[in-house]
Structure 1
Amino acid sequence: MSDIISCPDYMLPDLLCYDEDAESLSLELDDNGFGYRSRFESQALDSFAREESIEWILKVYTFFRFQPLTAYLAVNYMDRFLASRCFPPANGWPLKLLSVACLSLAAKMEEPIVPSLLDLQVYGVTNSKFIFEHQTIRRMELMVLGALDWRLRSITPFTFIDFFAHKLDSTGTLINYLVSRATQIILHIIREISFIEYYASTVAVAAIVRAANEIPLLSSSTLVHNPGKAEEWCHGLNKESIISCYDLMEDVVTEIKQRSSRLTPKLLPQLRITTQPIGSSDSSSSSSSSTSSSQKRRKLNNLLWVDDIDYEDKDKL
C-alpha cells in the first residue's frame, strides 16, 4: 500500500505510521474473511437499514456542520464493526445505537467541539425513535474500539482529493470548486455498498474527474472523457479500477440527479408569450380557465415555475 503515496511531489507524513492499515476498506474487511458485501447480497445484513443509518449520520453532520471526514469516518467505523462482529439483526435500535457510537467516536477524532451525546441524538433529526443513555453509548463505543483494535485513523478519499485536484488543474484556479464538488460526490456515494471494493485513492480520482466533468473549462479535457489516463498521476493507481469506479459513480450521481429533478419543480425559460384579445369568446375564456386549473404556473423573473406532474395525472401514478 505504500506505493500509492510514493509520488515524489506529494508527501503524506500523517500516513507513514499506518503501513499496516489497508488503504481499501474492502481489503480490510476481506482480510477478516467475513465477505462483508456478500452478506448484504445474501440479505444476512439489511442494506436498507445501512442506508437509513448513513442518512441519519449525514443529517446530523449537516446540522452540526461537521467536517466531511467526520461523516465518512463514522460510516467507515460502522462498516468495519458490522464486518467483524456477529451483530443482532442490523435494523431497529441496535443499528441506531451503533450509528450514534460511531458518529460520536468520529466527532471526537476530528471535531474541535463535540456535541453532547443527547444533542447528537435529538438535533437535526425529526421523529427520533430511540434515545440512549450516556452509559449505553459509552459501552457501545468501547465495543467498537475493541472491534477496530483502536485503529481510528483511516486512509480516506479526502486524503487525496486536494492533490488530485491540483493534478487536474495545475493553475489552481478551480481547485476550490473541484475539491468541494468531489467532496459532495463522495458523501453521496458512501450509501452505495459497492464502493468499498475500491481503494480510497481510486475513489478520490474518480470523484475529481467527475467533478471536472461539470466545469466547462475542464469538461473538454481528454482526461474527463478517458478517466483511465489519471493512472499517470501517481504510482499505484490502476486504470481498470479507475474506469470501473468512475462508471459506477456516474450511475449513482445520475440517479441522484434524476430523483432530485422529479421532486423539485423546474425553472423553464419563457420562450413564448401569447396574448388574449379583449373581446374573446366565452368558449375561449372557458378553455383558458380549464388549462390554467390543470397546470399551475407562476411567473417569476421572466421564468415559468412548472410542476413536474400535471394534477390530472397524479391519480394515474
Structure 2
Amino acid sequence: MSLSSCSDCFSDLLCGEASSSIISSGGGDFSPEYSSNFDSQPSDAAESISGLLEDERDLAGISSCRAIDQPIDASVRAEFVAWILKVQRYYGFQPLTAYLSVNYFDRFVCCCHQLPKMSGWPLQLLSVACLSLAAKMEERLVPCLLDLQVEDPKFSFEARTIQRMELLVLSVLDWRLRSISPFCYLPFFALKIDPSGTYTDFLTTRAKEIIFSTFKETSFLGCRPSCIAAATILFAANDLPKFSLITAQHAESWCDGLHKDEIMSCQQLIRQDVFKIRPKKQPKVFPDLRVTNRASIDSTSSLLSSPSPSYKRKSDGVDENEETLIKRVK
C-alpha cells in the first residue's frame, strides 16, 4: 500500500467520522480458531529455537523498526503503549498479545513516517485497532470492540470505525501479522541456566516483567527478540546468587545465532532505560532465629496462662477493659 493511499485513508477516517460517532453502540467481534502459540515448545526444543532464530532473521525487516523511524514523540508513544498494557492486564490477555499490539503499532507508524505528525484521536484509534487484531490472533475469547475500550481511553469509537482502522492497519502491514516475540525463547533459556528446573518459573516470570518494561522505550526497537530474551533472563538470573556469575558469553553458547555483543548492548539499554529510576536492589536479609533457654520459655508460659482482663476494640481504635464497658452500659 502506497503512502499516498495511506494518507487518503486517514483523511477518509477523519472526514467520515464526525464527533457524534465517536461514542455509539456497535457490533461484536469473532474469535478465530488459529493461534500462533509461540510459547509452546515441541519435544525437540533446540531444533525449535533454531527455527525461530532463522525466522527471526527472515522477519527482521518486517517486524522491527528503529527509534529514528518513529514519527511520534517517545512520550506520546509511551502513553498509548501504557494504555495497551493496562487493557492487557484488565482482561488477562497473554503477554504475546500485548507484544503483538505494540509491534503492529510501531510498524504502522514506521511505514507511515511520511504522514503528518500523528497525535490525539488517530493514535488512540490505532491503539484500539492494533490491540483488537492482536487479540484475534492470540486469545480464545475476544471482547467486543466497545468493551475493549476500557481503562479510561482518551477517545472511544464506534465498532465500524475501529473495523475500518483494522483494515487500514492490515493493508499497511501487507497482512503480515506474524512476529517472533522474546517470550518464546524464555523457557528454553531458563532451562539452559537451570537444567534442574527448580528456578525456571522464577526466571521466566522475572524476565517477562523486565520485557514488559521495555515496551515503552523506543531504544529497544532495534533489538532482536532473541537478544531481549537472553538479556532479560540474565538479569533474572542475577537475582539468584546461585546463577549470578552467568554472563552474555555463556548465553552465546546456548544456541547458534546469539551474539554476546548484541546481548551486552541490550543489557546496557536495560540498565539505562528500564532500571534508570529504580533504586539499587538491596540483598534479602533473613531474620535471625532467636534461641531461647528453657527458663525463659517457662516464664513466658506462666505469663500467658495467668488470668488477664479481656479487651474489646473500640471503633476509634482505643482499647477498653470489658468491666469498664459494662459499667458504662449500666
Does TM, scored on the shorter chain, surpass 0.5? yes
8 Å CA contact retained: 2:46, 2:255: no
Amino acid at match of 1:140: M
1:118 paired residue number: 146
Between the two proteins, what is the percent identity of the paired residues?
47
1:47-97 CA-to-partner distances (Å, cap 9, x unmatched) read: 111111100000101111111110010000011111112444222000110
The one of 185, 198, 208 equivalent to 1:160 is 185
SS of alignment partner, residue 278 of structure 2 = helix
Structure 1 regions of 5+ residues with no counterpart?
A: 1-7, 262-268, 270-317
The one of 44, 62, 75 equivalent to 1:28 is 62
1:38 paired residue number: 68
| Partner Cα separation in structure 1 for residue 219 and residue 272 of structure 2 | 12
8 Å CA contact retained: 2:190, 2:233: yes
1:80 paired residue number: 107
SS of alignment partner, residue 251 of structure 1 = helix
SS of alignment partner, residue 236 of structure 1 = coil
Q: Report whether the alignment pairs 1:142 with 2:163.
A: no
8 Å CA contact retained: 1:210, 1:250: no
1:12-57 CA-to-partner distances (Å, cap 9, x unmatched) read: 29967x8497454xx4378xxxx742244xxx42211111110000
Question: For residues 202 and 102 of structure 1, do their structure 2 counterparts lie closer, same or farther at Cα, with a shift above 3 Å needed?
Answer: same
Amino acid at match of 1:196: L
8 Å CA contact retained: 1:97, 1:140: yes
Residue 121 of structure 1 deviates from its aligned partner by: 0.6
The one of 248, 257, 272 equivalent to 1:227 is 248
2:40 paired residue number: none
| Partner Cα separation in structure 2 for residue 13 and residue 232 of structure 1 | 13
TM-score, normalised on structure 2? 0.66
Greater relative contact order (CA < 8 Å, ≥ 6 in sequence): 2
8 Å CA contact retained: 2:125, 2:157: yes
8 Å CA contact retained: 1:178, 1:211: yes
The one of 251, 255, 258 equivalent to 1:237 is 258
Question: For residues 260 and 169 of structure 1, do their structure 2 counterparts lie closer, same or farther at Cα, with a shift above 3 Å needed?
Answer: closer
8 Å CA contact retained: 1:160, 1:204: yes
Question: For residues 87 and 103 of structure 1, do their structure 2 counterparts lie closer, same or farther at Cα, with a shift above 3 Å needed?
Answer: farther
1:126-174 CA-to-partner distances (Å, cap 9, x unmatched) read: 3x32111111100110111111111112111012111111111111000
The one of 59, 65, 82 equivalent to 2:92 is 65
8 Å CA contact retained: 1:88, 1:94: no
| Partner Cα separation in structure 2 for residue 88 and residue 95 of structure 1 | 12
2:268 paired residue number: 247
2:13 paired residue number: none
Structure 2 regions of 5+ residues with no counterpart?
A: 1-43, 288-330
Amino acid at match of 1:102: C
Residue 252 of structure 1 deviates from its aligned partner by: 2.7
1:292 paired residue number: none
Amino acid at match of 1:134: A
Question: For residues 133 and 76 of structure 1, do their structure 2 counterparts lie closer, same or farther at Cα, with a shift above 3 Å needed?
Answer: same
8 Å CA contact retained: 2:63, 2:103: no
Residue 11 of structure 1 deviates from its aligned partner by: 3.0
8 Å CA contact retained: 2:102, 2:130: yes
Residue 227 of structure 1 deviates from its aligned partner by: 2.1
Amino acid at match of 1:252: D
| Partner Cα separation in structure 2 for residue 9 and residue 72 of structure 1 | 22
TM-score, normalised on structure 1? 0.69
Amino acid at match of 1:28: I
Question: For residues 260 and 118 of structure 1, do their structure 2 counterparts lie closer, same or farther at Cα, with a shift above 3 Å needed?
Answer: farther
2:278 paired residue number: 257
The one of 211, 214, 219 equivalent to 1:186 is 211
Question: For residues 29 and 106 of structure 1, do their structure 2 counterparts lie closer, same or farther at Cα, with a shift above 3 Å needed?
Answer: closer
| Partner Cα separation in structure 1 for residue 280 and residue 148 of structure 2 | 29
Question: For residues 218 and 150 of structure 1, do their structure 2 counterparts lie closer, same or farther at Cα, with a shift above 3 Å needed?
Answer: same
1:216-268 CA-to-partner distances (Å, cap 9, x unmatched) read: 3322xx31xx323311111111111011101111223322424999xxxxxxx
2:242 paired residue number: 217
SS of alignment partner, residue 146 of structure 2 = helix
Question: For residues 64 and 259 of structure 1, do their structure 2 counterparts lie closer, same or farther at Cα, with a shift above 3 Å needed?
Answer: farther
Provide the aligned length of Structure 1 versus Structure 2. 239
2:122 paired residue number: 94
CA RMSD between the two structures: 2.8
| Partner Cα separation in structure 2 for residue 87 and residue 133 of structure 1 | 24
SS of alignment partner, residue 211 of structure 2 = helix
Q: Report whether the alignment pairs 1:169 with 2:224.
A: no
| Partner Cα separation in structure 2 for residue 250 and residue 13 of structure 1 | 26
